[in-house]
A and B are shown apart, each in its own frame.
Chain A
Amino acid sequence: MKFKLIYPKWNKLPGQTTFNLPPHGPVVFAASLPEYVDISFTDENVENINYDEDCDLVGISMMLSTQVKRGWAIAQEFHRRGKQVIFGGISTMLHAEETLLYGDSVFLGEAEGRMEDVLRDWERGELKKIYNFMNNHPDVTQVGPARRDLYKKDLYNHKGVQMVDLFHASRGCRFSCYPCAVSYLGGRSFRPRPVEKAIEELETIDNNRLFIVDNSLAQDKQWEEELFKAMIPLKKQWISHTIDDDPKILDLAAQSGAWYVYQAVFDTSDYIKERIKRYHEHGIAVEGTILLGLDNQTEDDILRLIDFLLEINLDLAEFTVLSPFPHTKAYDDLVRQNRIFDHDWNHYNAGQVVYQPKHMTPERLQELYDYAWETFYKDESQEEKMFKLFTTVMLREMEKGTYIPRRRELVNKSFGKDVVRNFAN
């Protein structure tokens, strides 16, 4: 049985450095397919879709709201060729009602242990319109290892440098943060993978650099401690979201190769300043994530926040404007107040204002967002700051004996395309 798995492309934010990382959702899903299935994977961000490739069933895996319209269009192309299409993934769950209009079937929830039955239905010509496993989670021990063998690895290489591989160590979230839908998607309890299972998968990854994509590892200290301890011998270098602000955890994280973490900077408090300092004291760099446009921010607050960022030695900063994704409290609040004016999911990219902010016009918030990027990177560009981080990791790898030089044969390629070099006179 030939299954064509597709990850739709989306428009990247203008003015920002584009890196195409190997997508995680599709290869995690692929691991849940029975062994007899022959999978062909296409990430449309790095290669074109061959609509005429021989296949029996098409799966479209979507993570972002900015992918859904493209995913629906792809499904229509396959329908024209008489193929059936099943949708799954995070943004399928966020936009399920609309996606139902375009798919022969929509899979909601986590796929481990479910796909044998789905494919049996398909073979009998009885594919259901909805497979609903929301909040009916499989045993987390069934998760992984992801099918990274499906990647065309050279397409995730920029000028000879391999991009990080993605990995997840847990599911669900016990927090219900204002702009976030993870607790809706994965349930409101934290479900860590057994450490030995996580390590078993990490050992299979042929890459010394990882992005651990869990939205917060800081949910169970004992597990976090055990995970980091077990990771030390692997000598990987890794990026993650927040980790616990505890000296023992930070020390273990550093020993296990914490390269940099994403840390939300939501105010100008000493708490934030100290927190970033503590990461730095452990040799862990920090990329600040700064959400603009919340109802408690005036123009002055945003301007003060930007000044503050320049004082606290962030290694990188990523600015976003609030995108009210469905199934978040932000969305509920703005819907009730009738403040969402743009319902085009392509604009829900965290860089475009789609709602009426409380203390300013949408246009002014958009200007402040642009100003934030420009101001933070005025003296040293994003590429220069990234290069510094990259140098740090190379030096560490050289010390540990794990450094792999860039691949010379790919220095003129970037994500599968030829690099156009503009030499000055």
Chain B
Amino acid sequence: MKPLLKETVEIFDFKGLWDVHSKCGLRIMQKDDKYIIIVSELYQDNPGTSITQATCSLAKQVCEAYSLPKEEIVYIEHNPDMNSKLSFYDEEFYLVTFGLNNDNFSNPQWRQLTTAEIKDFFNDENRN
């Protein structure tokens, strides 16, 4: 399948586990009163922690860097297509839901999004 998300809007530098310097792709879209945050794994170009290992901390760092209200975000992890023969490196999107305690995200739960759900997000963006 053709990758849905071809490029990231920016590279976001973040502190991974043990404060290791880490990088991810970042795209933020606004839809109604929600902020859709899409963080992309960079694999070899990420010197540190993966977006999934750092999920709660990364979500917090993005919200704080862009002054986004933590209650109003839709947070999506994106594994870009790596043009690999191995299916583990196909493009995937996961919606992550969190608890929010004392301003910190906790207890992440992941749900893989279908192609239709993802297309919905981008169609809406194109209409804006």
Residues of A participating in the B interface, judged by any CB pair closer than 8 Å: 96, 108, 130, 132, 134-135, 174-176, 178, 183-184, 187-188, 294-296, 326-327, 329-330, 332-333, 335-338
Contacts and interface: CB of A to CB of B under 8 A. Distances in A.
B43 to A, nearest CB: 5
A188 B86 CA distance: 20
A137 B10 CA distance: 27
A130 B94 CA distance: 33
Contacts of A183: 44
A108 B44 CA distance: 21
Contact of A134 (B18, B44, B53, B88): B18
B52 A135 contact: no
B80 interface: no
Given A135-B48, A176-B44, A338-B110, 19 more contacts: A96-B17, A108-B18, A135-B21, A175-B44, A183-B44, A184-B49, A187-B47, A188-B44, A295-B87, A295-B88, A326-B53, A327-B50, A327-B53, A329-B50, A330-B88, A332-B53, A336-B77, A336-B94, A336-B112
Contact of B52 (A96, A176, A336): A336
Contacts of B46: 188
B4 interface: no
A188 B18 contact: no
A337 B49 CA distance: 19
B100 interface: no
| Of A108, A187, A188, most B-chain CB atoms within 10 Å | A188
Interface of B: 17-21, 43-44, 46-50, 52-53, 77, 86-89, 94, 110, 112
Contacts of B112: 336-337
Contacts, number: 53
Contact of B43 (A132, A176, A296, A326): A176
Nearest to B82: A176
A327 B86 CA distance: 19
Contacts of A132: 18-19
Contact of A332 (B48, B50, B87): B50
A296 B87 contact: yes
The interface residues of chain B, by DSSP majority, are classed as mixed
B52 A188 contact: no
Contacts of B21: 135
B21 to A, nearest CB: 6
Contacts of B17: 96, 134
Contacts of B89: 178
A62 B53 CA distance: 22
A149 B93 CA distance: 52
Contacts of B19: 132
| Of B18, B43, B112, most A-chain CB atoms within 10 Å | B18
B18 A96 contact: yes
Nearest to B45: A188
B44 to A, nearest CB: 6
A338 B107 CA distance: 13
Contacts of A327: 49-50, 53
Would you list the 10 A-B pairs with minimal beta carbon distance, nearest first?
A336-B110, A332-B52, A135-B20, A134-B18, A296-B87, A134-B20, A132-B18, A178-B88, A176-B43, A336-B94
